A and B are shown apart, each in its own frame.
Chain A
Amino acid sequence: MNILEVSNVSKKYEAHQALTDINLNLEKGKILGLLGPNGAGKTSLIRIINQITAPDSGTVTFNGEKLERKHVEEIGYLPEERGLYRKMKIGEQAIYLTQLKGFSRADAVKKLRPWFEKFDLNQWWDKKIEDLSKGMAQKVQFITTVVHEPKLLILDEPFSGFDPINAQLVRDEIKVLKEKGISIMLSTHNMASVEEICDEVYLINQSKNVLQGTVHELQNQFFDQSYKVSFDASATDLNSAAFQAHCQKVELNPNNESMKITLNEGVELNQFLGSALASINIKEVKPLIPSMNDIFIKAINDQKR
Chain B
Amino acid sequence: MNKTLLIIKREYLTRVKKKSFILMTFLGPLLMVGIMVAAVMLSLSESGKQSVLVVDKTPGMLTKDLFKESADYKYFYSDKDLSDEEFKESEYTLMLYLNERFVETDAAAIYYKKLPSFKVMKTLESQMEEILEGYKLRVSGILPSVYARINTNINLVPKDIDKKTEKSYDRELAIVGFAFSFLIYIFIFLYGSQVMRGVIEEKTTRIVEVIVSSVKPFQLMLGKILGVAMVGLTQFLLWVFLSASLFFVAQATILKDKYNPQEMVQEQVSKKMASEMQMELKQQEDTQMVFEILNRINFPVMIGMFIFYFLGGYLLYAALFAAIGAAVDNETDTQQFMLPVTIPLIFGLMVGEFAITNPEGPAAFWFSLFPLTSPIVMMMRVAIGFDAGNVWQLVLSMALLIATFFGVVWMAAKIYRTGILMYGKKVSYKELWKWLRFKN
- Which A residues form the contact surface with B (CB < 8 A)? 13-14, 47, 50-54, 56, 69, 72-73, 75, 77-79, 81-88, 96-97, 99-101, 104, 141, 144-145
Q: Is B421 an interface residue (CB 8 A)?
A: yes
Please tell me if the beta carbons of B214 and A72 are within 8 angstroms of each other in the complex.
yes
Q: What separation, in Å, do the CA atoms of A104 and B5 have in the docked complex?
A: 13
> Among B1, B207, B212, which residue has its beta carbon within 8 angstroms of that of A99?
B1
Q: A13-B438, A52-B212, A79-B213 are in contact. List 17 more A-B contacts (CB 8 A).
A: A50-B213, A52-B213, A56-B439, A72-B214, A73-B214, A75-B213, A79-B209, A81-B209, A81-B423, A82-B209, A82-B210, A83-B207, A83-B210, A96-B6, A99-B1, A100-B3, A100-B6
Let me know if B215 and A100 touch, CB within 8 A.
Answer: yes
**Residue of B202, B213, B423 with highest tally of chain A CB at under 10 A:** B213
Q: How far is the CA of A51 from the CA of B215 in the complex (A)?
A: 9
Contacts A99-B1, A99-B6, A100-B3 given; does A79 touch B434 at CB 8 Å: no
Across-interface contacts of A81 in B (CB, < 8 A): 206, 209, 423
Residues of B within 8 A of A84 (CB): 205, 207, 210
Q: Which residues of B contact A99 (CB under 8 A)?
A: 1, 6
Residues on the B chain within 8 Å of A101, using CB: 214
If A86-B205, A96-B6 touch, whether A52 touches B210 (CB-CB below 8 Å) is no
Task: For the complex, give the distance between the alpha carbons of A73 and B211 in Å.
Answer: 12
Q: Would B6 and A77 count as touching, CB distance under 8 A?
A: no
A276 → chain B closest CB, angstroms: 56
Min CB–CB distance A294 → chain B (angstroms): 31
Q: Is there an interface contact between A72 and B213, defined as CB atoms closer than 8 Å? A: yes
Nearest chain A CB to B58 CB, angstrom units: 76
**Minimum CB distance partner of A141 in chain B:** B210
Shortest distance between the CB of B60 and any CB in chain A (Å): 81
The answer to whether A82 touches B206 (Cβ under 8 A) is yes
A83 touching B205, Cβ below 8 Å: yes
Taking a contact as CB atoms under 8 Å apart, the answer to whether B206 and A83 are in contact is yes
Q: Is A87 within 8 A of B14, CB to CB?
A: yes
Q: Does B140 sit within 8 A of A, measured CB to CB?
A: no
Nearest-neighbor residue (CB-CB) of A53 within chain B:
B440
By a CB distance below 8 angstroms, the chain A residues around B440 are: 53-54
Q: Which residues from chain B contact A13 at a C-beta distance below 8 Å?
A: 438
* Chain B 155-213 interface residues, beta-carbon cutoff 8 Å to A: 201-202, 205-207, 209-213
Query: CA separation between A50 and B211, bound complex, in Å?
Result: 11
The CA-CA distance from A13 to B211 in the complex, in Å, is 22
Chain A residues whose CB sits within 8 angstroms of the CB of B1 once the complex forms: 99, 104
Interface size band for B = 20 to 34
- Chain B residue, CB-CB nearest to A15: B434
Give chain A residues whose Cβ lies under 8 Å from the Cβ of B214.
72-73, 97, 100-101
Could you tell me which residues of chain B, from 362 to 386, have a CB within 8 Å of some CB in chain A?
none
Contacts of B119 in A (CB 8 A): none
Beta-carbon contact of B211 and A100 below 8 Å: yes
Known contacts A52-B421, A100-B3, A77 near B210 by CB under 8 Å? yes
Binary contact track B413-440/A, C-beta < 8 Å → 1, others 0: 0000000010100000000001000111
Supposing A47-B421, A52-B421, A100-B215 touch, asked if A79 and B14 sit within 8 A by C-beta, the answer is no
Q: Report the Cα distance A79→B206, complex, angstroms.
A: 9
Query: Complex Cα distance A87/B214, Å?
Result: 21
Task: Give A242 to B205 CA distance when docked, in angstroms.
Answer: 64
Q: Give chain B residues whose Cβ lies under 8 Å from the Cβ of A79.
A: 206, 209-210, 213
- Contacts of A50 on B, CB cut-off 8 Å? 212-213
A97 vs chain B, min Cβ distance (A): 7
Closest CB of chain B to A126's CB: distance in Å? Answer: 13
Of the candidates B206, B210, B211, B439, the one whose C-beta lies within 8 Å of that of A54 is: B439
* Closest Cβ neighbor of B205 among chain A residues: A83
Q: Which residue of B lies closest to A84 (CB)?
A: B207
Find chain A residues with CB under 8 A from B64 CB: none
Tell me if B57 is interfacial: C-beta within 8 Å of chain A.
no
How far is the CB of B298 from the nearest CB of chain A, in Å? 44
User: B271 on the interface (CB 8 Å rule)?
Assistant: no
The residues of B that contact A83 with a CB separation of less than 8 Å are: 205-207, 210
Near A by CB (< 8 A), chain B positions 1-31 give 1, 3, 6-7, 10, 14
Give the residue name and chain of the A residue nearest to B217 (CB). Answer: A52
Cβ of B7: which chain A residues have Cβ within 8 Å of it? 100
* Chain B residue contacts of A97, Cβ below 8 A: 210-211, 214
Task: Give the residues in chain B near A47, CB-CB below 8 Å.
Answer: 421
A85 touches B207 (CB 8 A): yes
CA distance A141 to B209 in the complex (A): 12
The interface residues of chain A lying within 8 Å CB-to-CB of B14 are: 85, 87-88
- Mark B104-128 against chain A: 1 for CB-CB distance below 8 A, else 0: 0000000000000000000000000
